[in-house]
A and B are shown apart, each in its own frame.
Chain A
Amino acid sequence: MSVHPISNIIRKLRFNADEMTQQQLANQVSVTRQTIVAIEKGKYSPSLELAFKITRVFNLSIEEVFFYDPKNNV
């Protein structure tokens, strides 16, 4: 359940990247696993810096990983 206007496909990208674990992604972008869990569940919108770090892990642009939908704005 998304509570933010920003959604993402990180879970799908992790799966496609040899089933990368949340902990492995967290280690690569220097955050805790809890933060990756919160981002994937749409409970937290990451800072621009963290968003860039995540997209670089998958060699994608920000628009390919994160999506803005103002209808979800609360």
Chain B
Amino acid sequence: MSYQEKKSLVSLISNIIIFAVYYMNVLQRYHENIFSTEELFKFWAGAILLLMPVLIFTKLIINFIFIIVNRIVTNQVAPKFSDELDKLIDLRATVHFGWVFMLGYLLSMGALVIGMTPLIMFNILLCSAILGGIAIDVTQLYFYRKGI
């Protein structure tokens, strides 16, 4: 398995674990409190906003650990630059993220239109953000493995 494949796999697994832990934490806090409508919007908007720095910070640490562990175990050096293949795969991955997130956004708005609660709408938005992140990792893993 190449360095890029391993990196995508580590990113995929860490994305799923970080989101699962974060989401359970948010749900726990949600069930512990009773919110007015305004507070409910504030709570979920805050949860979505906070997810991004949490994801970025934890993934930075995990990536750092991965580079060190991979270097020790396989003696493989991380590439210092992105070449045309990396950029092409990144572009495709970003497009897939866009499609997944756009679908989630439309579904969340649709949920509001058909009379579902804001809780459902925010949950769909939150899930679509993380599913988009997973789409990036899966796309990268697929194209690094199968070719482009």
Contact = CB atoms under 8 A, between A and B. Distances in A.
B83 A38 contact: no
B46 interface: no
Given A3-B147, A41-B147, A44-B148, A31 B84 contact: yes
Interface string A1-23: 00110000000000000000000
Contacts of A31: 83-85
Nearest to A50: B84
Q: Chain B, interface size: which category?
A: 10 to 19
A55 interface: no
Interface in B41-97: 79, 81, 83-86
Interface of B: 2-4, 79, 81, 83-86, 144, 146-148
A48 B34 CA distance: 62
Q: Chain A, interface size: which category?
A: 10 to 19
Interface of A: prevailing SS: loop
11 contacts: A3-B146, A3-B147, A31-B85, A32-B79, A35-B86, A37-B2, A38-B148, A41-B147, A43-B147, A44-B85, A50-B84
A62 B8 CA distance: 33
Contacts of B85: 31-32, 34-35, 38, 44
Instruction: Identify the interface centre among B81, B84, B144, B148: most chain A CB within 10 Å of its CB.
Output: B84
A30 B83 CA distance: 8
Contacts of B148: 38, 43-44
A68 B55 CA distance: 44
A31 B84 CA distance: 8
A32 B147 contact: no
B84 A34 contact: no
Contacts of A35: 83-86
B2 A46 contact: no
Contacts of A38: 85, 147-148
